[in-house]
């Protein structure tokens, strides 16, 4: 089964971006880890990252058309993008929401809501990069 791991804005700077919050694993390392974790559980994983909301929308729309399961870390868009909410609503295969940190435990109010959660079969937050492994396991279990 093919699975898309989609990462939103600023996640391309993982490893350098606020490592005390997001850890020291780089975006390229995370992508490699996801491919390996996927292989371990029989999934063909493709990892993408974008700082452009329209690009993420196009990927989600294509995933809806192909019934591709998605692991989504929409980063800051999680908290306010109604366009991403509408795109998630159209998905036809399971969606798992992932965050490296736990936005609900963070001090900024704006992080306490998610437009993705209503359409996610599971939300995995606060486990760092290991959250992606867990998300792939959820999808592999079906
Ligand atoms: C994040 C949490 C978001 O609040 C933040 O805007 C991010 C990353 C996470 O993975 O912890 O960019 O999604």
Q: What is the pLDDT of residue 126?
A: 98
Does 22 qualify as catalytic in the annotation? yes
Please report the atom of ligand 1 found closest to the CA of residue 98. 10
Answer whether 79's CB lies under 8 Å from 101's CB: no
Q: What does the pLDDT look like over 76-117, one tens digit per residue?
A: 999 999 999 999 999 999 999 999 999 999 999 999 999 999
Does 52 qualify as catalytic in the annotation? no
How far apart are the C-alpha atoms of 23 and 21, rounded to whole Å?
6
DSSP characters for 99-129?
ESS-GGGSS-GGGG--SSGGG-SEEEESSTT
Answer whether 128's CB lies under 8 Å from 100's CB: yes
The full set of domain ranges for the chain reads 2-141
CATH 3.40.50.9100 fits 2-141, yes or no: yes
Rounded to the nearest whole angstrom, what is the distance from the C-alpha of residue 66 to the centroid of ligand 1? Answer: 27
Q: What is the pLDDT of residue 77?
A: 99
Residues 6 or more apart in contact with residue 21 via CB below 8 angstroms? 100, 101
Please report the atom of ligand 1 found closest to the CA of residue 102. 11
Q: What is the pLDDT of residue 8?
A: 98
Q: What does the pLDDT look like over 43-84, one tens digit per residue?
A: 999 999 999 999 999 999 999 999 999 999 999 999 999 999
Residues with CB under 6 A from ligand 1: 10, 73, 75-76, 78, 99-101, 103, 111
Name the residue with the closest Cα to ligand 1, atom 7.
75
């Amino acid at each position: 089964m093919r699975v898309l791991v989609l990462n939103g804005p600023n996640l391309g700077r993982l490893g350098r971006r606020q490592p005390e919050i997001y850890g020291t694993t780089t975006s390229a390392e995370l992508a490699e880890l996801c491919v390996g974790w996927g292989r371990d559980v029989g999934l063909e994983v493709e990892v993408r990252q974008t700082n452009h909301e329209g690009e993420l929308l196009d990927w989600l729309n294509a995933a809806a058309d192909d019934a591709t399961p998605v692991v989504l870390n929409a980063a800051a868009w999680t908290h306010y993008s109604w366009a991403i909410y509408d795109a998630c609503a159209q998905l036809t295969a399971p969606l798992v929401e992932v965050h490296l940190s736990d936005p609900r435990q963070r001090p900024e109010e704006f992080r306490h809501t998610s437009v993705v959660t209503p359409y996610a079969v599971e939300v995995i937050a606060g486990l760092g990069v290991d959250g992606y492994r867990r998300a792939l396991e959820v999808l592999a279990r079906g």
